[in-house]
Amino acid sequence: MCALASTSARMKTSGSKYFAEAFGTFALVFAGTGAIIINDLQGGAVSHVGVALTFGLIVMAMIYALGDVSGAHFNPAVTLAFWFARRLPAREVLPYIVSQCGGALLASLLLRFLFVHPTLGATIPAHAIAQSFVLEIVLTCVLMFVILCVSCGARESGLMAGAAIGATVGLEALFAGPISGASMNPARSLAPALVSGHFAVLWVYLLAPVLGALMAVSLCRCARGSDCCGAAA
């Protein structure tokens, strides 16, 4: 499976990989933060559970749709962790992150055009900033650990990888969303913050997911040895 994935990756052009990352992140932010916006505007019609399911399902769908093209990161923290784990070449890191942030920003701009909403689904701590900071580190660490364990190189491996990752996103959004927003993704938080102008706590959602994702690489090495994060990309 890993050999097939590597062969498939070589067949893809750089442009198609970056487009896949941009479109996948666009879909994630458009559907996920769109669910938050519509839930607020329609008096809770979507519900908290519905918002969490939306995030989990769109992640799963995009992994299955685009995983064989780019690896379906859709998250700068995931990209940095794959590089740190030596599963992604350094030359791919910046183009991936730029593509992800560009897709997320386009989604937030489109939502701004469609809806009048004060935050556009921006992630804002419900209580203490330190509480949300630590929570985002742990949430992203768990998510990235799952990603590393079900992936081959920098891409998903097996038919259930997308389901496992999407389920983890949905699960964490279910219990942690009311406290920290359960972002786990700098691009997902950056775009609505830029478009809505909510910058005060943005640093929490840029720094914490990266720290959590990098921590997951070390945990994966402890749990699975060099088979997890020892091979060069």
Q: Look at residue 154 in the predicted model and tell me its pLDDT.
A: 54
Amino acid identity, residue 91? R
Q: Is the pLDDT of residue 83 over 90?
A: yes
Least confident of 14-23, 30-39, 82-91, 146-155: 146-155
Q: Look at residue 156 in the predicted model and tell me its pLDDT.
A: 56
Instruction: Read off φ and ψ for residue 155, nearest 5 degrees.
Output: -140, 165
Q: Look at residue 14 in the predicted model and tell me its pLDDT.
A: 76
Beta strand 155-156 with 151-152: parallel, antiparallel or unpaired? antiparallel
Quickly tell me which residue has 């840029």 as its tokens.
Answer: 206
Which residues, other chains included, contact 173 with Cβ-Cβ below 8 Å and sequence gap of 6+?
A: 51, 52, 55, 56, 182
Q: Is the pLDDT of residue 80 over 80?
A: yes
Q: For the chain, how many structural domains are there in total? A: 1
Residue of 165, 146, 142, 182 lying closest to 66 (CA atoms) = 165
CATH number at residue 143: 1.20.1080.10
Run of H or E including 18? helix 14-41
SS3 (DSSP) at 9: helix
Cα–Cα distance between 45 and 54 in angstroms, integer? 13
Spell out a b/e string for 124-155, using b for 16 or more CB atoms within 10 Å of the CB, else e.
Answer: bbeeeeeebbbbbbbbbbbbbbbbbbbbbbbb
Amino acid identity, residue 140? T
Which residues, other chains included, contact 136 with Cβ-Cβ below 8 Å and sequence gap of 6+?
A: 180, 182, 183, 184, 204, 205, 208, 209, 212
Cα angle vertex 17, ends 36, 58, to 5°? 25
Range of the domain at 155: 2-229
Confidence of residue 224 (pLDDT cuts 50, 70, 90): confident
Q: Look at residue 12 in the predicted model and tell me its pLDDT.
A: 56
Q: Is the pLDDT of residue 233 over 60?
A: no
Q: Is the pLDDT of residue 11 over 50?
A: no
Cα–Cα distance between 119 and 166 in angstroms, integer? 25
Tens digit of pLDDT for each residue in 144-199? 999 999 986 556 555 688 999 999 999 999 999 999 999 999 999 999 999 999 99
Cα–Cα distance between 15 and 119 in angstroms, integer? 32
Cα–Cα distance between 205 and 183 in angstroms, integer? 7
Confidence of residue 13 (pLDDT cuts 50, 70, 90): confident
Please state the pTM of the whole predicted model.
0.90
